[in-house]
Amino acid sequence: MSLLRYDVTTGDWLVLASARASRPDRTGERRRSEPAPHVPHDPDCPFCAGNEAKTPPTIDAEPDPADASRWSVRLIENKFPALMSDARTERRLTGPLFREMDGHGRHEVLIESPDHGRALAEQPAAQVVRVLEVLHRRATALGRDPRLEVVQIFKNSGSAAGSSIPHPHFQIIATPIVPRQLRIKFETAADHYQVTGSSVYVELCRAEVEAAVRVVASNEDFVAFTPFASRTPYEVWILPRQAAPTFDLADRATLPALAALLIDVLGRLRAVLDDPPFNLIVNSAPRRHADEPDFVWHIEILPRLAHAAGFELATGMAINPVEPELAAERLRERTRRDP
């Protein structure tokens, strides 16, 4: 059972999830300079094919196109969930200023393929499309639950990015509140729309395409760029050319173009930064704003090349030592990783 607690000094909610303290760390200690040998199967990995009994049951899956008795993408509940269904969402005061609620929500895992060692950037395009299809379907289903405010899709790659299982996977956490950082983001977008009559994300995408210096790659449906205000070195955003407030409202017909650009951009990052640890975030408007034109869903890829230090934790103000214009130039020059 987890709890949400409210911080009266900031307006943040946080999750207390003591069950997660017992989850195993299976990442080992690979040094970054060692070439990673490709291990397609690890008999001890709970996400590998054949070990399905070690995980919670399948929620959704895509079959292997070559053998329908096998899965090629599999979505399950997280075995050590930060939030769980069927908890109550009433807030209670446990003392003056001490507000908390049960940890209602969802915490799920999408296993990207049966292959233990194949990174998303190295998957065939059709497999990445299947991953996106399952994420899209699940986001649609979770978006219908009126007790879930935000459906946050993300991916941690590498232990420095917070991953505890090396088998490539995405995660989904759906929360019963709108976290303050997101609330500010959505309010900023709503304010911008009220003033200008257009979405700040549409304008930003247009301005980055016009400035051209930070564009990394693009295709008919998506644009990838290192944003003007990049918080981390080699931060990359992918924005759809066709605006929609949430990922599940994106046109399914554009998912192959997204898969192609994702493989391209992640391949460039691997080539330039030698397979960096990274987080990938899919930003969507919360359920209560999903009918508004203010926000445009988008992907943020954040390589984790340095540890945040005291100044960043204290102020929320990033210190980025690499100009995004330089990062974009280097990413444009290289494509896939050398063999």
Quick one: 56 or 227, whose CB is closer to a copy of itself? 227
Quick one: 35 or 321, whose CB is closer to a copy of itself? 321
- Which residues are registered as beta bridge partners of 104? 84
Quick one: 71 or 278, whose CB is closer to a copy of itself? 278
Candidates 274, 245, 275, 280; CA nearest to 261 is 280
Q: How far is the CB of 209 from a copy of itself (least distance, A)?
A: 12
Quick one: 257 or 269, whose CB is closer to a copy of itself? 269
Quick one: 36 or 97, whose CB is closer to a copy of itself? 97
Question: Degrees (nearest 5) of the Cα angle 39, 155, 164?
Answer: 55
In angstroms, the CA 47 to CA 277 distance is 20
Strand boundaries in 182-318, DSSP class E:
215-218, 222-225, 236-240, 278-283, 298-303
Cβ within 8 Å of residue 97, ≥6 positions away: 8
In angstroms, the CA 47 to CA 110 distance is 9
Q: How far is the CB of 100 from a copy of itself (least distance, A)?
A: 8
Candidates 221, 269, 250, 219; CA nearest to 153 is 250
Quick one: 103 or 257, whose CB is closer to a copy of itself? 103
Q: How far is the CB of 278 from a copy of itself (least distance, A)?
A: 9
Instruction: Give SS3 for 3.
Output: strand
Q: How far is the CB of 89 from a copy of itself (least distance, A)?
A: 15
CB 45 within 8 A of CB 51: yes
- Residue 194: Cβ within 10 Å count: 9
Quick one: 150 or 271, whose CB is closer to a copy of itself? 150
CB 276 within 8 A of CB 210: no
Q: How far is the CB of 282 from a copy of itself (least distance, A)?
A: 8
In angstroms, the CA 271 to CA 262 distance is 14
Q: How far is the CB of 190 from a copy of itself (least distance, A)?
A: 12
Q: How far is the CB of 299 from a copy of itself (least distance, A)?
A: 11
